[in-house]
Amino acid sequence: MSDHKKPDGDRLPPGRKNLRVAVANPLHEESYQLILEREPRVTLLFDPSLLPPARHQADFSGDPGFRRTPEQQRRFEALLDSADALLGIPDVDPAALARTVQSNPRLKWVHTTSAGGGQQVGKAGLSPSHFQRVTFTTSAGVHGSPLSEFVVLGVLCGAKDLPRLLRQKGRRQWGERWMSRQISRQKVLILGFGGIGRAVARSLSALGMSVTATSRHADAKHLDVDRFVSIDELDDVVGEMDVIVSALPGTDLTRRIVGERLLARVKRGVTFVNVGRGSVVDEPALIAALEDGRIGFAALDVFEVEPLPAASPLWGMPNVLISPHTAALAVDEEAAVVELFADNATRLLDGHELVNVVDTVEFY
């Protein structure tokens, strides 16, 4: 086991002057060093032989074929049970998280390496007393920039009719002239205004689009948003929109918000982009809207069932761009995650509020 140590600092928990962090997901060596450089009061506990090999940067799940021996599993659990905090959910498995929280009374904080880690926390079935003792945070916001770029791609493909261009190219057909849509004259509705939604608003506002976003707060203001609406007002505004972007988390409240009722009210030929969660969309209703032209183009990074089954009609639709839940991946993602973790570690050690705390009612 590697035990990276730096000089002691402030107290956490009482009687300690550093923060013992068990690394529960695979990281690259430069990430360990980055954490220690940004927060020297952290002691990292990890054993590379107990973690699945990372196949690439930010591969926090690691090789799916990795298996521990019973003795290695005991060592791994002992390491987790000796920590004040976890970097990552063990094996990205809610059951393993539940075991650790229940077995380690000193555990105070768990940081998930994904933006949607709140869903995994919710699936762990923890008790109210566990949530009083342990704070959970996510890596929300880290993926905002690459996801907003995917949204821009989807908006461009829809406005400039990429399917038509590809179809004519495949036929070696010059075709007649036609009028494409001008992005700077379009209106976009962003569903969800967390870290991803804010990044999307910045990108689309910079392109000259009129931005409407959902917010629970009627008086919400943001430089890149022209107006905010509540979820209850969607039926009244969706028909004005040229583009709809979903950046919503997957919760009971957001399940299938983009369904028959909403899609019955959209402007014909609207572009739809989903970079939130697949559960937000009623896929049969989406497919019907794509077939009859209510949705002219869709760029989808997430789906209700993943991997998307080969039998799904979405695969064969020329007006659908499919990304296999990879639009958030970027070469610097791992560095961004560990920097966020290190900054939160500093906040914890100094007695300040953490960022990206999981809502333990709706788990996002």
Shared-domain flag, residues 106 and 176: no
> Structure tokens of 254?
């957001």
Confirm whether 24 is domain-assigned: yes
Higher pLDDT, 17 or 121: 121
Shared-domain flag, residues 72 and 179: no
Among the listed residues 180, 152, 145, the one whose alpha carbon sits nearest the alpha carbon of residue 273: 152
What average pLDDT does range 119-132 have in this prediction? 95
Shared-domain flag, residues 29 and 46: yes
Nearest-angstrom CA–CA distance, 235 and 288? 19
Give the model's pLDDT for residue 329.
87
Shared-domain flag, residues 97 and 72: yes
**Local confidence band at 323 (pLDDT 50, 70, 90 cut-offs):** very high
Reply yes or no on whether the pLDDT at 7 is more than 70.
no
Q: Which DSSP helix (H) or strand (E) runs through 224? A: none
Among the listed residues 283, 243, 285, the one whose alpha carbon sits nearest the alpha carbon of residue 266: 243
Confirm whether 360 is domain-assigned: no
Stated pTM of the model: 0.82
Confirm whether 202 is domain-assigned: yes
Shared-domain flag, residues 60 and 155: no
Pairing of strands 85-87, 109-111: parallel
Q: Specify the number of domains making up the chain.
A: 2
What average pLDDT does range 27-32 have in this prediction? 95
Reply yes or no on whether the pLDDT at 164 is more than 50.
yes
**Local confidence band at 2 (pLDDT 50, 70, 90 cut-offs):** very low
Reply yes or no on whether the pLDDT at 219 is more than 90.
no
Give the model's pLDDT for residue 14.
46
Give the model's pLDDT for residue 11.
34
Nearest-angstrom CA–CA distance, 44 and 27? 12
Number of Cβ within 10 Å of residue 293's Cβ equals: 11
Q: What is the largest CA-CA distance in the chain?
A: 77
Reply yes or no on whether the pLDDT at 12 is more than 60.
no
Instruction: Please give the full DSSP string across 333-363, using - where no structure is assigned.
Output: HHHHHHHHHHHHHHHHHTTPPPSSB--TTT-
Give the model's pLDDT for residue 17.
73
Relative orientation angle of helices 195-206 and 144-159, to the nearest 10 degrees: 50
- Report, as residue numbers or ranges, the catalytic residues: 277, 306, 325
Nearest-angstrom CA–CA distance, 86 and 24? 6
CA–chain centroid gap for 189, Å, is 19
Cis, bond preceding 324 (omega within 30 deg of 0): no
Confirm whether 116 is domain-assigned: yes
What average pLDDT does range 62-91 have in this prediction? 97
Shared-domain flag, residues 173 and 316: yes
- Across the beta sheet with 135-137, what order do the strands follow? 2-4, 42-46, 19-23, 85-87, 109-111, 135-137
For a pLDDT cut of 90, what percent of the chain falls above it?
84
* Structural domain boundaries enclosing 273: 144-322
Q: What is the pLDDT of residues 204-218, one digit of tens each?
A: 999 999 999 998 775
Rg of the Cα atoms in the chain? 23
What average pLDDT does range 234-253 have in this prediction? 95
What average pLDDT does range 305-313 have in this prediction? 97
Confirm whether 363 is domain-assigned: no
CATH code for the domain of 57: 3.40.50.720
Q: What is the pLDDT of residues 268-308, one digit of tens each?
A: 999 999 999 999 999 999 999 999 999 999 999 999 999 99
Nearest-angstrom CA–CA distance, 320 and 120? 29
Shared-domain flag, residues 95 and 239: no
| Side-chain-facing half-sphere of 289: CA atoms under 13 Å | 27
Q: Report the chain's mean pLDDT, rounded to a whole number.
A: 93
Shared-domain flag, residues 280 and 345: no
Shared-domain flag, residues 100 and 218: no
Give the model's pLDDT for residue 346.
97
Shared-domain flag, residues 340 and 276: no
Confirm whether 110 is domain-assigned: yes
Confirm whether 183 is domain-assigned: yes
What average pLDDT does range 164-190 have in this prediction? 95
Nearest-angstrom CA–CA distance, 336 and 198? 17
Shared-domain flag, residues 285 and 343: no
Higher pLDDT, 314 or 118: 314
Higher pLDDT, 141 or 101: 101
Taking phi first (over 0 means left), then psi (-120 to 50 degrees means alpha), and beta for anything else, what does residue 360 get? alpha
Pairing of strands 42-46, 2-4: antiparallel
Nearest-angstrom CA–CA distance, 339 and 336? 5
Nearest-angstrom CA–CA distance, 133 and 273? 38
Q: Are 95 and 103 in contact (CB under 8 A)?
A: no
What average pLDDT does range 63-78 have in this prediction? 97
Confirm whether 356 is domain-assigned: no
Give the model's pLDDT for residue 175.
86
Number of Cβ within 10 Å of residue 93's Cβ equals: 15
Give the model's pLDDT for residue 212.
98
Give the amino acid at 287: I
Q: Are 101 and 120 in contact (CB under 8 A)?
A: no
Give the model's pLDDT for residue 76.
98
Give the model's pLDDT for residue 216.
78
Give the model's pLDDT for residue 218.
59
Reply yes or no on whether the pLDDT at 16 is more than 60.
no
Among the listed residues 88, 143, 97, the one whose alpha carbon sits nearest the alpha carbon of residue 124: 97
Higher pLDDT, 195 or 320: 320
Shared-domain flag, residues 104 and 182: no
Give the model's pLDDT for residue 42.
97
Pairing of strands 135-137, 42-46: unpaired
